Amino acid sequence: MSEYLNQLNDSQREAVTTLEGPVMVIAGPGSGKTRVLTYRIAHLLNSGVAPWNVLALTFTNKAAREMKERIVDIAGSRSNSLWMGTFHSVFARILRRESDKIGYPSDFTIYDTEDSKSVLNEIIKEMKLDKNTYNVNGVRARISAAKTQLISPEQYAKDERIRSRDQMSRRPYIHVIYERYVKRCERAGAMDFDDLLYKFYYLLRDNPEGVKEKYQAQFQYILVDEFQDTNFLQYAILKMLSRYPESKQNVCIVGDDAQSIYAFRGADISNILDFQSEYQDVKVIKLEQNYRSTIHIVNSANHLISYNKKQIKKKIWTDKTEGPKVKILRALTDTEEAKRVAGLIQEYRNRHYIEYKEMAILYRTNAQSRAFEEHLRKANIPYKIFGGLSFFQRKEVKDLLAYLRLVVNENDSEALKRSINYPRRGIGKTSLDKMLDYANKNEISTWRALTELQLPPRTTSSIKEFVQIIRHLQGMAKESNAYQVALEASKLSGLEKLLKQDTSIEGVNRLQNMYALLDGIKEFVEADEIGEGGEVANKSLSSYLQNVALMTDLDQANNEDDYVTLMTIHSAKGLEFEAIFVVGMEENIFPSFMTLNDPSQIDEERRLFYVAVTRSKRLLTLSHAKSRYQYGQIRYNDPSRFLEELPEEHIDAPTPKVKVIGEAPGKGYNTYDASPKGRVSGHFNRSPRSSARPSPKIDTSNFRPSPSDKIAKGQQVLHLKFGKGKVLSVDGSRDKRVATIRFEDVGGEPKRLMLKFAKLQIV
Q: How confident is the model at residue 681 (pLDDT cuts 50, 70, 90)?
A: very low
Which of these ranges, 51-60, 61-70, 124-133, 343-352, has the smallest mean pLDDT?
A: 61-70
Residue 449 pLDDT more than 70? yes
Q: What is the DSSP string of 181-246?
A: HHHHHHHTTEEEHHHHHHHHHHHHHH-GGGHHHHHHHH--EEEESSGGG-BHHHHHHHHHHH--TT
User: Among 18, 34, 149, 218, which one carries the catalytic annotation?
Assistant: 34
Q: Is 526 a catalytic residue?
A: no
3-class DSSP string for 484-502: HHHHHHHHHCCHHHHHHCC
- Taking the mean position of all CA atoms in its chain, how far away is CA 172? 31
For residue 159, what pLDDT is reported?
94
Q: What is the pLDDT of residues 279-304, one digit of tens each?
A: 889 999 999 999 999 999 999 999 99
| Residue 756 a catalytic site member | no
Residue 745, helix vs strand vs coil: coil
DSSP state of 151: -
- Cα of first residue to Cα of last residue in the chain, in angstroms, is 87
Angle at 329 between CA 694 and CA 534, to 5 degrees: 45
**689 pLDDT more than 50:** no
Question: For the CA atoms of 496, 497, 503, 506, what is the dihedral angle to 10 degrees?
Answer: -30
> Pick from 624, 639, 636, 629: which is nearest to 665 by CA?
636
Strand order in the sheet with 716-719: 751-754, 738-743, 723-731, 716-719, 760-762
CA atoms of 4 and 8, how far apart (whole Å)? 7
> Mind listing the pLDDT tens digit for each residue in 422-435?
998 888 888 888 88
What pLDDT score does 244 carry? 63
- DSSP symbol at 695: P
Q: Considering the chain, what percentage of its residues have pLDDT values greater than 70?
A: 88
Please state which of the ranges 185-194, 411-420, 487-496, 534-543 shows the lowest mean pLDDT. 534-543
The answer to whether residue 326 scores a pLDDT higher than 70 is yes
Adjacent-strand bridge partners of 751: 741
Residues 484-525 pLDDT 10s: 999 999 999 999 999 998 888 788 888 999 999 998 898 888
Label residues 527-536 b or e (16+ Cβ within 10 Å = b): bbbbbbbbbb
246 is known as an active-site residue: no
Of residues 13, 33, 618, 641, which has the active-site annotation? 33
592: phi then psi, degrees, rounded to nearest 5: -65, 145
Cα–Cα distances (Å) from 598 to 452, 595, 603, 606, in that order, read 59, 6, 9, 12
Q: Is the pLDDT of residue 745 over 70?
A: yes
**Does the pLDDT of residue 389 top 80, yes or no?**
no
**Given phi > 0 = left and psi -120 to 50 = alpha, else beta, which region is 402?**
alpha
pLDDT at residue number 669? 28
- What was the pLDDT predicted at 39? 94
Higher pLDDT, 526 or 353: 353
What is the structure's pLDDT at 106? 80
- The reply to whether 226 belongs to the active site is yes
Question: Lowest-pLDDT range, 267-276, 353-362, 619-628, 655-664?
Answer: 655-664
Kindly name the residue from 192, 194, 195, 226 that is annotated as catalytic: 226
Mean pLDDT lowest among 254-263, 398-407, 551-560: 551-560
**Cβ contacts of residue 690 below 8 Å, gap of 6+?**
none
Angle at 156 between CA 155 and CA 162, to 5 degrees: 130
CB contact set of 268 (below 8 Å; sequence gap of 6+): 230, 231, 232, 235
The answer on pLDDT for 672 being more than 50 is: no
Given 615, 628, 635, 759, which residue is catalytic? 615
Active site residue 615: yes
Q: Is the per-residue pLDDT at 117 higher than 80?
A: yes
What is the pLDDT at residue 748?
A: 64
The pLDDT score that the predictor gives to residue 555 is 33
Mean pLDDT of 126-134: 91
Q: In this model, does residue 130 exceed pLDDT 70?
A: yes
- Which pLDDT score is estimated for 80? 81
pLDDT at 546: 66
* pLDDT given for residue 722 in this prediction: 82
For the segment 375-404, the average pLDDT, to the nearest whole number, is 86
Q: Kindly report, residue by residue over 451-478, the tens digit of the pLDDT.
A: 888 888 888 999 999 999 999 999 999 8
Cis bond upstream, residue 599 (ω within 30) = no
- Compute the half-sphere exposure of residue 529: CA atoms within 13 Å on the CB side of its CA: 21
When mean pLDDT is compared across 127-141, 219-233, 718-732, the lowest value belongs to 718-732
691 has a pLDDT exceeding 60: no
Q: What share of residues in the chain are helix, strand, coil (percent, to 5)? A: 50, 15, 35
Active-site residue 259, yes or no? Answer: yes
Provide the mean pLDDT of the chain: 85
Res 397 pLDDT > 80 = yes
pTM of the model: 0.71
Point out the catalytic residue in the list 192, 194, 225, 337. 225
Measured over the CA atoms of residue 656, residue 659, residue 661 and residue 666, the dihedral's sign is positive
| Structure-model confidence comparison of residues 58 and 540, the more confident one | 58
Q: Which of 38, 58, 259, 368 is catalytic?
A: 259
For residues 378-400, give the mean pLDDT.
84
Give the Cα separation of 540 and 202 in Å (integer). 61
